[in-house]
A and B are shown apart, each in its own frame.
Chain A
Amino acid sequence: MPRIPAQPSPMAQPRSFVWTRRVVLTLLLIFVLVPVYVMLSSSLKNLQDVQGSFRWIPSGLTVKPYVDIWKTIPLAHYFMNSLIVSVSATLFSVAVAIFASYGVSRYRFPGRRLFTVTVLSTQMFPGILFLLPLYLIFVNIGNSTGITLNGSRLGLIITYLTFSLPFSIWMLVGYFDSIPRDLDEAAKVDGCGPMGALFRVVVPAAVPGIVAVCVYAFMTAWGEVLFASVMTNESTRTLAVGLREYATQNDVYWNQVMAASLVVSVPVVAGFLLLQRYLVAGLTAGAVK
């Protein structure tokens, strides 16, 4: 097993550890991949075969579902909606969270505790309780200001960004706390303002945390069903609700559901792969300490 000196445990690994790793990770790999395999193989069958008994090796393969998915529902349109909503919500959410976490982590002020407790407690609000009130508020804002929040992507973006905000703030406060204050004090002495210290010292050192928070914020927005089902219309519908349209009045197009899910997940997984580099790069930033 190749070993790189920079890795955390500089000890020869006992056989027991290596074996545990092989066994556990293999089992996990199976657990994770079996449903993915089912999706893949089902997406290559015709509808009759999908509805029949499961077989590991499909008897006949067809790519027709991959052609049909675009016609059955406006998949590309929903995908764009989801992408715009999720990416915007993520960027805003992380930006807002960075500022708030910096404030909480680096300053002592009256109301600090109240703020963190309040923000965290919003995480407990059952969505069902405030879905309808929020909808009514959006409608009323639209009536009085002309800003269309209900049914628009903007409304969804604002809603989703607050969904991920509490956890993002909590996670980042933890990260910022672990970055020695001396570093940003030094930066301030060098002539940076508090903002300079935040963006030059604290943010770079917290890259792994920020990336994790980004992924989380993105996925929160990406998968949300309940609010999207009420607050979107035909032109703003997102994937999470749109995919359900493969289940129609008369039939569930299993093969198309699976094909569409795989197609829309490829860019997301690819994005994850890209972000991995930053997660690893975070190691170097951590070495500053």
Chain B
Amino acid sequence: MTATAPPRSASEAGPDSGKSAGRGRLRPRIPQRLRNIALPYLLLLPALALELLIHIVPMVFGILISFKSLTLFYIRHWSSAPWAGFDNYKIAVKIHQPIGQALLHSFWVTIAFTVLSVGLSWLIGTAAAILMQDTFRGRALLRAIFLVPYALPVYAAVITWTFMFQQNTGLVNHVLHDQLHVTSDKPFWLIGGNSFWALVIVSVWKSWPFAFLALMAGLQNIPRELYEAAAMDGAGVWQQIRKITMPSLRPVNQVLVLVLFLWTFNDFNTPYVMFGQSAPHQADLISIHIYQSSFITWNFGSGSAMSVLLLLFLLLVTAVYLLITSRRRGDADA
């Protein structure tokens, strides 16, 4: 590619100069300096406008609602709903009252679920990406197969797992009980305590391929010379992974772990398809919990307040995370 670069830029000068000619009309009037200042903002403009329309403005709207007592009596004319001050928040954080207690329980369940799911997805994704860095027979096919869970529509994937987890007729118990005789009785997976683990398994199955994909892309950006130099120094494969691969993946990991955390924490589709509108107590994820408080019971004030609390928590976690990882990254660079 390097070799072809110079002639290519010459041959392509035609269409490109045509394009800049369109912009050239502005050139005489706007001084170079101003254009340099405006350019980055112009580049960001589309992204910013869309984020404003779809995320920021509705979000501000949502925060406003959290201070209102927006119950089903008012949703037709939501602006006339009475102001509730901090009442919605007070109810949500009173952890010794049933509503606050339920929310807190759901919060802890979600934390445990998220940590397990992200941890396992990352671990599996990293292992697979590193193990598949080198060519071997069937590598391309394997890579495609590994992306299948990610390609299946969420509904289909989760409903299939639900099907497999059925106590009486499902595959999981067929294997555990009928074939391997690990359990003396057929355990339940969709209700009771195990439902939490079922949820973790499904979530990992669905999200590890994404970690795999991102890390695979990350691995391809590690310069080959680093490995060659290490090999010359006599480092084995395992050492290379520890000394070169892992540190080089740090920037990708920094983003990857964070977004996996955020998606898993806010994941609505998986528990919704698995359990419907009423999740078992042990697997009562916060997204479903809030969905119940707002969409099933149409108490949007209270649901919004819970969402805002959730958002504040996520902001805090993210800020701390970025602070820690960036500092470490800074150290490494220095």
Contacts and interface: CB of A to CB of B under 8 A. Distances in A.
B153 A195 contact: no
Contacts of B132: 21, 25
Contact of A4 (B43, B135, B169, B310): B135
A128 B44 contact: no
Give chain B's interface residue range (CB within 8 Å of chain A): 35 or more
B144 A100 contact: no
Interface stretch (B81-89, B111-119, B222-230): B222-230
Nearest to B43: A103
Contact of A122 (B12, B51, B144): B51
Contacts of B12: 200
Given A10-B228, A133-B65, A244-B155, A286 B220 contact: yes
B2 interface: yes
Contact of A9 (B53, B231, B300, B314): B231
Contact of B303 (A16, A128, A194, A286): A128
A289 interface: yes
B117 to A, nearest CB: 14
B138 to A, nearest CB: 9
B47 A119 contact: yes
Contacts of B142: 25, 29
B168 interface: yes
Contact of A124 (B42, B210, B214, B262): B262
A138 to B, nearest CB: 10
A170 B213 CA distance: 15
Interface in B44-88: 44, 46-48, 50-51, 53-59, 61-62, 65, 78
A240 B153 contact: yes
B99 interface: no
B127 interface: yes
Contacts, number: 333
B213 A215 contact: yes
A29 B131 CA distance: 13
Contacts of B314: 124
Q: How large is the interface on A (under 10, 10 to 19, 20 to 34, 35 or more residues)?
A: 35 or more
Contact of B61 (A130, A190, A272): A130
A24 B156 contact: no
**What's the dominant secondary structure at chain A's contact region?**
helix
A70 interface: no
A170 B254 CA distance: 10
B249 to A, nearest CB: 11
A35 B290 contact: no
A10 B318 CA distance: 38
A279 B237 contact: no
A165 to B, nearest CB: 6
Contacts of A193: 16, 20
A21 B157 CA distance: 27
Given A38-B164, A167-B255, A279-B220, A127 B131 contact: no
Given A32-B145, A137-B57, A128 B315 contact: no
Given A126-B311, A128-B290, A279 B217 contact: yes
Contacts of A53: 168-169, 174
Contact of A223 (B153, B238, B315): B153
Contacts of B2: 287-288
- Give the interface centre of A225, A288, A289 by most chain B CB atoms within 10 Å: A225
Interface of B: 1-2, 8-9, 12-13, 16, 19-20, 37, 39-44, 46-48, 50-51, 53-59, 61-62, 65, 78, 124, 127-128, 131-137, 140, 142-157, 159-161, 163-164, 168-171, 174, 205, 209-210, 213-214, 216-217, 219-224, 227-228, 231, 235-238, 240, 251-252, 255, 259, 262, 266, 268-269, 272-273, 287, 290-291, 294-295, 300, 303-304, 307-308, 310-311, 314-315, 318
Given A112-B40, A174-B251, 13 more contacts: A2-B135, A8-B134, A9-B227, A10-B224, A28-B128, A29-B145, A126-B310, A178-B221, A193-B16, A209-B217, A257-B159, A261-B155, A269-B151
6 contacts: A1-B137, A33-B148, A130-B59, A159-B54, A208-B217, A219-B150
